[in-house]
Structure formats: C-alpha cells, structure tokens
Chains A and B, each alone.
Chain A
C-alpha cells in the first residue's frame, strides 16, 4: 500500500505543470467560496460585536431599527426609573437616551452620497460602550457644535477628519476627534451631543434608550416590565440580539450568493480535475499493469489514484485559502439594507471557514478523481502491459 501512495505523490511532482494548472482552477473556486463566507462572517461579526450582552436597547414597538424608532421624553423617564437599570459610579442610572438619524455625506474622492448614522449621545454614552475610545483629538465640549467621528468615517468621508466640518441643521459642526471602536459598527458613525442634535434636527423625541442591566439575568424581568406597561409602546432587546437582527438579511444574502456561485464554479473545477485524472490514468496504463503484475490489488490502485486526486484538491484548497487570507486586509463599505445606513466591515477568516473550504476542496478532488480511479482499477493486467 505504501508504494502506490508514494507513487501518486511522485507523479504529481513529475507532472508539475498539469498539477499546478489543475489545482489553480480549484484554488480559484476555493478562493471565491472562502471570500464570500468571510464577507458574511465579517458583516455578522462586526454587528454582533457592536452590542454588549448586558446592555438593553429600548425602541418603539414594530420599529426595526433605531432610525425608525421614536421614544418620547416621558417614556424615556419611565424606563430610567426601572429597578433593573444599573447604577453608575456617580449614583445616577447607567442609561443613555439617544438620537439616531441618517445624514447624507459624500465619500472622499467621489461625488457619491451615502447614508451615515449620526448618533446623539448623552453623558453615559461612552461608559455604556467600553469598546469605544478616542484615538485622536478630544471629546466635544458640552453645548458646542462639535462632533467626533468613527475611524471609518474619518478615513472615507469628506468632512470626517479632525478640523474639518460637516454642515447640517443650518449650522456647521466641527469634527474635533476620531474614535475607534475595535471592529464594531460604531466605527461607521458620527457622535455628538444629543440635546444639541435634537435641536438641530427639530426632533422632539429620542430614538432609543440604552441601559446596562444591574444583573445580567434580570433581562426577562425588565423586558416584561417595559413591554407590559400600558404607558409605554416600546420593546426591549438585548443589545447583542438587536445588532444580530440587523445583520441577518444581508448576511443570509451574501451566504446564498456565495454558495450558489461556488456550486456552479466547482462544477468547472471538478471537470478540470476529471480531465487531469483521466489523462493521468491514460498515460500510465503500462505502469498500472506493472504494479498489478507485481501483486498490488485493484483496491490499492483505486486508493492510489483517489489519493492522488485528493492531494490535487487539497493543494488547490490550501492555495485558495492562502490567497483568501490576504483578503482580510480589505475593508468593504456598503449600505446595509436593513438599517439603510453605511457600514464598513472586513473579510474575516474563522476556523470554521478554513475547515469548510478544505473539506470542499477535498470533495472536489474526490468527485473529479473517482471515475478515472475506477477505470484504472478495472484494467486487465495483460492488456495493460501490452499497451504501448
């Protein structure tokens, strides 16, 4: 059994050009497969990590996102008085009443507008989101027309950098700082003082209320209180859940697109593998006959050729993964249909994607190699030896 295996391995090496071309075809398929999976994963990771498990988002019932929602001041005050809300170091509830709207900004280097989230936050906005920290500049002074911009906005949008200004609500807003929020969606937002922004946009109501739970397990209790209160027309979600819901449609779209594309492409690559393996069998009829004459059974021959084609697939898979891992350096910025706003995210490679891609490449190799391997195994010794 050892010799046929070694034989397949040597063969791949001897016929290098064919090996490289065949596995290159498969590598491209694996690349597309891995890249689309990475994209969906990156989108979901960005939005899921945006939320913290212990935070609760309260929005108006049946509103799908903060942008559509409206929470009246009176309602916000009722939520603030719930016993489940954690207390901050200063003794006040750890809760933030926020305004979330969209504004049109133009991307740098183009004249194409995009919808950017602008979030009015209160004093606790930063404390509730430990992942957000200032990387350059300073925080806005309370009561002045100053805002800070997320990392992606600062890089990609006109007027987003420190010292630049953005015009809306009949006045100019100076960007005084850039913040980074790890890999979360806040990187694609602009933050300012909530009261000033409500004035500027002439919105008398908040968009959402965000608070930390006093005890992580108290969520159900808080939810029942909020949703059962006849004065409130609000619903409460854990922040993680809220953001996961927002990424669902688009991530599903990307996955379906990716899988259907790769299925079609893999047919092409499997045909490629089949052609290569048939040729490998046809060129080696005499060798196969010799091995059979030496006493190797049909099963060994079958195994040797299947192994060869699996190796071919594996090489392709690894090549494809190698190239796709470079995609992690690329940031995609597009509109999330569910929130109607711009979101930047990275391709993200996970262990799950790695083994799925490798498995996929092995399957391609197997399907491509199984028929030729059977042909090799079924060969008659005498006829095979007689072939020139």
Chain B
C-alpha cells in the first residue's frame, strides 16, 4: 500500500512532465491501434468471403475471358450444385475519382450464391425481369442519392461506350463486412451489345462462380473443373473464393507490410520519449534514493519504485489512448465513409494496445531502474542536483 502511494505521488511530482508523457503514450497507442485496424481492414474481404464458393478464371490471368459454353460443362462436374458467371465491367461514373466496382452478372443464380446481398423479393424480381436493370449496394446509393427507377450511366473502360442502366434494387449487406459499394447488371445486356458492336468479344465471361454441394470437397471439385479444360484453348484456374481474394491482397502486400513496420516505429518513438523522461526523473532523484537506502530500504524497493512509476505513467497513457480510439474510429467511419465503410476496433487490438503500453513503461524503466537501484549511498548523497 505504501509503495503504491509512493509511486502515485512520485508520478505526479512533475505534473507537466507526467502529463506530456501520458499524452505522448496516448497518441502512440491511438496511432498503433488505428494502424492495426487499417491493416485488418485490408484482409476483411478475405474474411468475409466464403470457403464454399469456388471461382474459376482463365489460367493465364484474370484479364483473359472464358467461353460461355464452359457453364454447361462445369455443371456436369460431380459435386457442383450451382454455376453462375460474371464479368468485371470497370465502368466509370462521372469521372475517375468516382470509381466503384461494377460487374456484369447472370442475375438469378448469382444472387442465390450470394445470400449476403439482401434484396426484397419485389426488388429482386424487378431486377431479374429488366434486362437493362441494375442493383447497387446501399452505401453507393446513399452516396449518390440514387432512388429505385433512376437511370445510371457508366462509361466503359474495357467495353467502350456509354452504358445506361435502370436502378431496380438496392441491396443491404448481411453483416458489416459485406461490400455495399458495388453495381451489378445483366451480363445478357452486355453480351447483346457486344454481339452487335464487337462480335469477337461476345459470348465470353470473366469468371465462373461455383456453389458446391459439400464444402469439404471443394478442393477436389476445383481440381476436377481444371482437369476438364486441361489442354484446351482456355485453360482454367479454380480456387476457393477465399484463396482468390487472398491472391489479390497478396499483390499489394508490400504496402501493408510497410504500414505494419511503421506502426511498430511509432511504438519505438514513444519508447524513446518515455525512456528519456524516466532517465531524467531518476537522475533528479538519485539523492532521494540514497536517502531511502540509508533508511534501510533495499535495492528491490528502489527498483520497484522506479519501475512502478514508469509502468503506471505509460499505462495511464495507454488507457487514455484506448479511450480515444473509439471516438477516432467513429469519426473515420462517418467522415471517411467513402474509403472505410466500416472501421471498428477489435477487442484483440485493445488488449494488444494495453499490453504495448505496459511494454513501453517496462522498457523505458530498464536503465533508470538499474541506475537507481545500484547507486551507492555515499555517491548518491554526495551528488548535487
């Protein structure tokens, strides 16, 4: 009890210095938590993707199409329940700054395969019936103020021309991680226009989506599908949706690794600041430590006082940082919704934040503790200032 009191009293002797240190640690913990969440978001597409859906694409790379005739042959592969297909459209709305994902899809079975896109029955039927219809996610509709029945015009980058769609439905995501910034329209519409303008590019799809009867056999089915098209003009590459997404993420991994490294750098920076503070504090109090030793306190007591003070201060900073994390992430979620549709800090991040704060305090205290504890009484008392 006496020690705790001493530690707290000591911590607030230099009120300004302690407050500055606490603020420093709080900012570092805040930044660390935010960066960790940001890196986690990068992988959110992977986590929300299903392991029971397979994606089949051209083996050369994603930019090469597959013939539409493959749909029937894939359906005959044992273990395949549903097959649907789509194509990355890559249309531009207004200008490049307003970019969002757009796909040409085969509507009925596609929506069956993606139960996480929630549409009302009427909206779904209206979309399936209207060849020039499209559906968009709620976030996208909110951003541009679209209402059902509106006409949306996209400029094609891969398929040239102006493409007009009538909005037939606005879907909501089943959970927070579901992408709600996508526009989907009928592949048939795209194909019919292509048949007239560029017949060579018609009757081709970008990828197939396969629903399997038994998720446990997904790997087997994938191999079977690829074997079917081996040594054909368009060989296929089939993998689970999760692996497919992971491949995408891996392509930009270098940047994520950089952000991760940077998030550790911020911890090191603040460790240096805290170590500096503790070194100064210990230097000023050397005569006191000598006095305490004279009174009969042992080395371990002095060590506990210095160490405890350091951990106490940085833990205070850590708690403050964690408390600030919530309003900060809320702010990002509302103000930067365009880039981060959802930004929620996980429980694990908070625990890691607090552990890191303790770590900062412990490392910062190492040198001063050793110095305070090993000082010889006579030397300590002789020292001035």
The answer to whether A binds B is: yes
Residue numbers of A with Cβ under 8 A of B are 17-18, 21-22, 24-25, 28-29, 31-32, 39, 60-64, 67-68, 101-104, 112-115, 168-170, 201-202, 204, 233, 254, 257, 261, 264-265, 267-269, 271-272, 274-276, 278-279, 283, 332-335, 337, 340, 342, 388
- Asked if A265 and B61 sit within 8 Å, CB to CB, the answer is no
**Restricting to B49-96, which residues have a CB under 8 Å from any CB of A?**
59-64, 90, 92, 96
Q: Which residues of B contact A257 (CB under 8 A)?
A: 259
A204 contacts across to B, CB distance below 8 A: 200
Q: Which residues of A contact B268 (CB under 8 A)?
A: 28
Contacts of A271 in B (CB 8 A): 20-21, 23-24, 27, 273
Interface window among B141-149, B274-282, B346-354: B274-282
User: Do the beta carbons of B160 and A62 come within 8 Å of each other?
Assistant: yes
Instruction: Let me know if A272 and B266 touch, CB within 8 A.
Output: no
Across-interface contacts of A342 in B (CB, < 8 A): 251
Chain A residues whose C-beta falls within 8 Å of the C-beta of B385 in the assembled complex: 283, 388
Given A63-B157, A112-B250, A268-B270, decide whether A275 and B60 contact each other with a Cβ distance below 8 A: no
Given the known interface contacts A21-B279, A25-B269, A60-B160, the answer about A278 and B17 at a Cβ–Cβ threshold of 8 Å is: yes
- Known contacts A28-B265, A62-B156, A261-B262: A279-B17 contact under CB 8 Å: yes
Please judge, given known A-B contacts A18-B279, A103-B61, A115-B61, whether A268 and B251 are in contact too, CB under 8 Å: no
| A348 to B: closest C-beta gap in Å | 15
A22 to B277, CA, bound (A): 10
A25 vs B86: C-alpha distance when bound (angstroms): 52
Also in contact, A274 and B279, with CB within 8 A (given A25-B273, A114-B251, A269-B269): no
Whether B242 is near chain A, meaning CB under 8 Å from some CB there, is no
Task: Choose one: A60, A61, A101, A268; the contact of B269 (CB below 8 Å).
Answer: A268
Find out whether the CB atom of A278 lies under 8 angstroms from the CB atom of B16: yes
Pick the contact of A275: B17, B35, B63, B266 (CB < 8 A). Answer: B17
Ordered by A's residue number, 16 sampled pairs between the chains whose C-beta atoms are within 8 Å are: A18-B276, A21-B272, A21-B273, A21-B276, A22-B276, A62-B155, A104-B60, A115-B251, A254-B255, A265-B269, A268-B24, A271-B24, A275-B277, A283-B284, A335-B252, A388-B385
Give the contacting residue for B20; candidates A22, A275, A337; CB below 8 A: A275
* Nearest CB of B to A249, in Å: 8
Chain A positions within 8 Å of B92 at CB level: 62
B192: Cβ under 8 A from any A Cβ: no
Interfacial chain B residues near A17, Cβ < 8 Å: 279
Interface flag for B247 (CB, 8 Å): yes
Kindly state the separation between the CA atoms of A229 and B142 in the bound complex, as whole angstroms. 41
Q: What residues of B have a CB within 8 angstroms of the CB of A104 in the complex?
A: 59-61, 237
Instruction: Indicate if the CB atoms of B160 and A337 lie closer than 8 Å.
Output: no
Residues of B within 8 A of A335 (CB): 251-252
Select B280's contact among A18, A112, A168, beta carbons within 8 Å. A18
A24 to B90, CA, bound (A): 47
Taking a contact as CB atoms closer than 8 A, the residue among A101, A264, A275, A340 that contacts B276 in the complex is A275
Chain B residue numbers with a CB within 8 Å of A28 are 265, 268-269, 272
Q: How many residues of B contact A (CB 8 A)?
A: 54
B194 touches A (CB below 8 Å): no
**Residues 217-271 of B contacting A (Cβ, < 8 Å):** 231, 233, 235, 237, 247, 250-255, 258-259, 262, 265-266, 268-270
A202 with B20: CB separation less than 8 A: no
Q: Tell me the nearest residue of chain A to B268, going by C-beta.
A: A28
Give A112 to B272 CA distance when docked, in angstroms: 37
Given the complex, which residues of A lie within 8 Å of B253, measured CB to CB?
A: 112, 334
B216 at interface (Cβ–Cβ under 8 A)? no
Beyond A112-B251, A265-B266, A335-B251, list 14 extra A-B contacts (CB 8 Å): A18-B279, A21-B273, A24-B272, A62-B92, A62-B156, A62-B160, A64-B157, A112-B250, A202-B233, A272-B276, A334-B252, A334-B253, A334-B254, A342-B251
Interface contact A264-B272, CB-CB below 8 Å: no
In the bound complex, do residue A103 and residue B272 qualify as a contact, i.e. CB atoms below 8 Å apart?
no
- Across the interface, A272 reaches (CB within 8 A) one of B30, B90, B156, B273, namely B273
Give per-residue flags for B1-31: 1 if the beta carbon is below 8 A from chain A beta carbons, else 0.
0000000000000001100110110011011
- Indicate whether B295 reaches chain A with its CB closer than 8 angstroms: no
Closest B-chain residue to A273, C-beta based?
Answer: B273
Distance (whole angstroms) from the CB of B374 to the closest CB of chain A: 16
Chain A residues whose C-beta falls within 8 Å of the C-beta of B279 in the assembled complex: 17-18, 21
> Assuming A265-B266, A268-B27, A275-B20, is B254 touching A332 (CB within 8 A)?
yes
Q: How far is the CA of A1 from the CA of B265 in the complex (A)?
A: 39
Residue of B nearest to A19 (CB): B276
What is the distance, in angstroms, from B309's C-beta to the closest C-beta of chain A? 15
Set B90, B275, B280: member contacting A279, Cβ < 8 A: B280
Shortest distance in angstroms between B56's beta carbon and chain A's nearest beta carbon? Answer: 14
List chain A residues, Cβ under 8 A from B233.
170, 202
Write the B153-168 contact mask toward A (1 if CB under 8 angstroms, else 0). 0011110100000000
Q: CA A41 – CA B6 in complex, angstroms? A: 53
Return A204 CB to nearest CB of chain B, in Å.
6
List, in ascending order, chain A residues with CB within 8 A of B252's CB: 334-335, 337
- Which residues of A lie under 8 Å from residue B64 when comparing CB positions? 101, 201
Give the residue of A29, A62, A337 whose beta carbon is less than 8 angstroms from that of B157.
Answer: A62
Distance A333 CA – B257 CA, assembled complex (angstroms): 12
Shortest Cβ distance from residue B366 to the other chain A in the assembled complex, whole angstroms: 13
Chain A nearest CB from B342 CB (Å) reads 19
Chain A's closest residue to B38 (CB) is A257
Q: Which residues of B contact A334 (CB under 8 A)?
A: 251-255
Residues of A within 8 A of B20 (CB): 271, 274-275, 278
Q: How close is B275's CB to chain A, nearest CB, in angstroms?
A: 6
Beta-carbon contact of B28 and A268 below 8 Å = yes
Complex contacts, B59 vs chain A, CB 8 Å: 104
Q: In the assembly, what is the distance between CA of A68 and CA of B90, in Å? A: 10
Assembled-state Cα–Cα distance A62/B59 (Å): 27
